[in-house]
Amino acid sequence: MQERFEIALNTSAGQITSAVDVPTGNVSVSAVVPLMRHLGEEAQAMEVVRARELGKAVSCHKGCAACCRMLVPLSAPEAFALRAWIRSRPTDQQEDIARRFSEVKTRLVAQGVWERLVALCDSSLTTDDDMLEGVNRSYYALRLPCPFLEEEMCTIYDERPAACRELLVTSPADRCHDLIKNPIDPVLAPIQVSTVLGLLWQELTANPTRLIPLPLALEWAERHDEQSRRTWRGGELFDHALDKTWRFLSQAFGTTDKNPTR
């Protein structure tokens, strides 16, 4: 069974009003991942409209995959959701994905970057932008394509991480071929879903708010399999996620809303 949440949430781009169906039974934390991605995409769509009204069109398009050489951070719930999705695929597809991840790991180990990523995952400190910056530059310098990239197109587009969904630019697409040297004009992501889900995971488990680099996500999820099996009541879990969303918006944009209600 499901319970419908009617949501009104003020963001920097305006108010989101949405209806979300949430399972009423016990669910794992990964169950809220698609629901939160939905809210994040609704908020960013409003920013895209606002940019267009200012004469700034989004330049991202199918086959434009320069950003797919960046280090993509996932929250713990997203890592669990990604592993669950891969396990749902046919055996030959699972084997191909495992091979791709293995090839990326081999390259990262050879360049001395893998150990830095592992240290980032295992740190007892909350991951923040400063901690990610140095290792992100080292990773980007390798220009490694994402394990899910094939012929310059994402093979898991509907399941792609929130960080991938939130990176849109209005600057010319050719600038993205060197994101270190070239300035870009990103579209604001009013709700950073990975951050929100990381805060949710921190509250549920009393663990640091980790952002897990994509190449390590499957190994990390496997090592934390027992935690991935924990369940909570669906409505309560989504309530907690909405509370973290409201707190994120309050800190990021100084909104004065009360907590979003059903």
Residue type, 110: A
* pLDDT more than 70, % of the chain: 93
Query: What does the pLDDT read at residue 62?
Result: 84
Residue type, 234: G
Is 7 within 8 Å of 260 (Cβ atoms)? yes
Query: What does the pLDDT read at residue 128?
Result: 59
Segment 106-140, tens digit of pLDDT = 999 999 999 999 988 887 665 556 667 788 889 99
User: What does the radius of gyration of the chain's CA atoms come to, in whole angstroms?
Assistant: 18
Query: How far is 2 from 26, CA to CA, in rounded Å?
Result: 11
Query: How far is 167 from 10, CA to CA, in rounded Å?
Result: 21
Query: What does the pLDDT read at residue 156?
Result: 95
Exposed / middle / buried, residue 72 (Cβ in 10 Å: 0-12, 13-18, 19+): buried
Query: What does the pLDDT read at residue 254?
Result: 63
Range of lowest pLDDT (19-23, 131-135, 236-240): 131-135
Query: How far is 39 from 18, CA to CA, in rounded Å?
Result: 8
This prediction has a pTM of: 0.91
207 confidence band (pLDDT: 50, 70, 90): confident
DSSP H stretches of helix in 111-161: 114-122, 129-141
